[in-house]
Amino acid sequence: MAEAIDPLDEIHAGLAELDAAGLRRRRRVVTTPCSPDTRLADREQPVTAFCSNDYLGLAAEPALAEAVHRGTERWGVGSGASHLVSGHYAAHEALEARLAAFTGMEDALYFCTGYMANIGVMPALVGRGDAIFADRVNHASLVDGALLSRAELIRYPHCDLAALAARLAASDAPRKLIVTDSVFSMDGDIAPLAELLALAEAHQAWLLVDDAHGFGVLGPQGRGALAHFGLTSPRLILMGTLGKAVGVSGAFVAGQHDVIEWLISKSRSYIFTTGSPPLLADALLTAVDLIEQGDARRAHLAALIARLKNGLRLARWQLLPSDTPIQPVVIGDNHETLAVSRALDAEGLWVPAIRPPTVPKGAARLRITLSAAHSFEQVDRLVETLNRLEATQA
Ligand SMILES: *Cc1c(COP(=O)(O)O)cnc(C)c1O
């Protein structure tokens, strides 16, 4: 018989191992609203943050705060129950209709979070004996959704269409689901969605697109990655999040009317949870208006991205090729990446060090994210500091 392990001893030892490997996760306490001008509890001086996914600067937008205030007066706070019992309000219904129209889909379903949307949708579409084809660097929530579904998880090398085509052709699974991030969250590049859709159609597969980092940023009026490529198809299922560029919280899934009906009856993370506060759905209607009218914000964001890319002169470190607000600088070693992140912090610049398992081993990186709320001066200071640190850091 194997000797019993003291589970608490194991956790003490496990934490020490994480420390030794530079992999212990720590949270920093923010004391100001989400904005590039940030104050932290552990730091006297303010920092300029390049961390959030608030790409359009809506998270602290006064018009949204006012919408929340109005929503609270109308709805109070809690929803009181799950959507299928008594927690589905007119505000939720209106938001879903607005999101469907905005994305050009037949119907939409509002989830509490993107994580819950992904783990709820995949098991509703495929199960044991079926196959899920997933880009190797997809978001963790898509991996977890695949595991919950019990379908076989077949991963293909990042954006490798030939490899995907070969795996699809070799599979005799009765139901197939291809799943991809639209904008890869730790790399910033955009998936070849038109080609992925062509493969899905050729193999009678679903294509689930996780547009967490595209919705609000890509496409005309920020309608997202599918609009960016002009794609429509009954095979397409779109997941978009509402806590990133949209600045609030939550997520939606959009697709054919009957697909959404199916999810309402089958998606466990939709069914077995309390509906999110209706005041948020109300505020989200205002947020979608701001997204739609947000061309000036998107133009400023694009100019900031160009400024950063044109300014960085890196030799040892690698700025990944990306045209999105996610601009990762790969350093490689966990400890060196942490050291650079700390050196930036000492200069009043907050850029998170992203380490395995979030990214592959040996590919630790600074994940710079830009927001329409940044100024050119702030980006210039980041560029100048990174150029200098790379030249001087041993
Ligand atoms: C953030 C994110 C999610 C999860 O969305 P939440 O609303 O934060 O739970 C899902 N997929 C991707 C690609 C993400 O970046």
Question: Which residue among 53, 116, 119, 185 has the greatest number of ligand 1 atoms within 8 angstroms of its CB, and so is best to mutate?
Answer: 185
Per the listing, tokens 């589905």 go with 88
Q: Using alpha carbons, select from 335, 349, 338, 333 the residue that is nearest to residue 386.
A: 349
**Looking at the structure, do residues 283 and 304 belong to the same domain, yes or no?**
no
> What confidence category does residue 237 fall into, taking pLDDT thresholds of 50, 70 and 90?
very high
**Looking at the structure, do residues 78 and 172 belong to the same domain, yes or no?**
yes
Q: What is the domain extent for residue 143? A: 62-292
Domains in the chain, number: 2
Q: Does the annotation mark 83 as catalytic?
A: no
- Residue 248 tokens read as 């609030």
Q: What is the pLDDT of residues 241-270, one digit of tens each?
A: 999 999 999 999 999 999 999 999 999 999
| 275 Cβ closer than 6 Å to some ligand 1 atom | no
Where is the domain boundary, 257, 272, 292?
292
**Looking at the structure, do residues 165 and 238 belong to the same domain, yes or no?**
yes
| Ligand 1 center from residue 54 Cα (angstroms) | 13
Where is the domain boundary, 251, 271, 292?
292
Per the listing, tokens 């133009």 go with 299
| 181 Cβ closer than 6 Å to some ligand 1 atom | yes
Cα–Cα distance measured from residue 357 to residue 35, given in angstroms and rounded to the nearest whole number: 27
Cα–Cα distance measured from residue 378 to residue 304, given in angstroms and rounded to the nearest whole number: 10
Q: Does the annotation mark 185 as catalytic?
A: yes
* Three-class secondary structure of residue 318 per DSSP: strand
Per the listing, tokens 């890319």 go with 309
**Looking at the structure, do residues 106 and 221 belong to the same domain, yes or no?**
yes
Average pLDDT over residues 22-32: 91
Cα–Cα distance measured from residue 259 to residue 264, given in angstroms and rounded to the nearest whole number: 9
Where is the domain boundary, 274, 292, 310?
292
Q: Does the annotation mark 309 as catalytic?
A: no
Residue 25: per-residue pLDDT: 87
**Looking at the structure, do residues 303 and 199 belong to the same domain, yes or no?**
no
In a domain, 7, yes or no: no
> What confidence category does residue 394 fall into, taking pLDDT thresholds of 50, 70 and 90?
low
Cα–Cα distance measured from residue 157 to residue 133, given in angstroms and rounded to the nearest whole number: 11
In a domain, 11, yes or no: no
**Looking at the structure, do residues 307 and 279 belong to the same domain, yes or no?**
no
In a domain, 176, yes or no: yes
DSSP annotation of 82 reads B
**Looking at the structure, do residues 52 and 71 belong to the same domain, yes or no?**
no
In a domain, 329, yes or no: yes
Mean pLDDT across the chain: 97
| 212 Cβ closer than 6 Å to some ligand 1 atom | yes
The DSSP bridge pattern shows strands 131-135 and 152-156 to be parallel
**Looking at the structure, do residues 136 and 184 belong to the same domain, yes or no?**
yes
In a domain, 12, yes or no: no
| 251 Cβ closer than 6 Å to some ligand 1 atom | yes
Strand stretches in 263-379, DSSP E: 318-319, 326-332, 349-350, 353-354, 364-369
Q: What is the pLDDT of residues 148-166, one digit of tens each?
A: 999 999 999 999 999 999 9
**Looking at the structure, do residues 177 and 319 belong to the same domain, yes or no?**
no
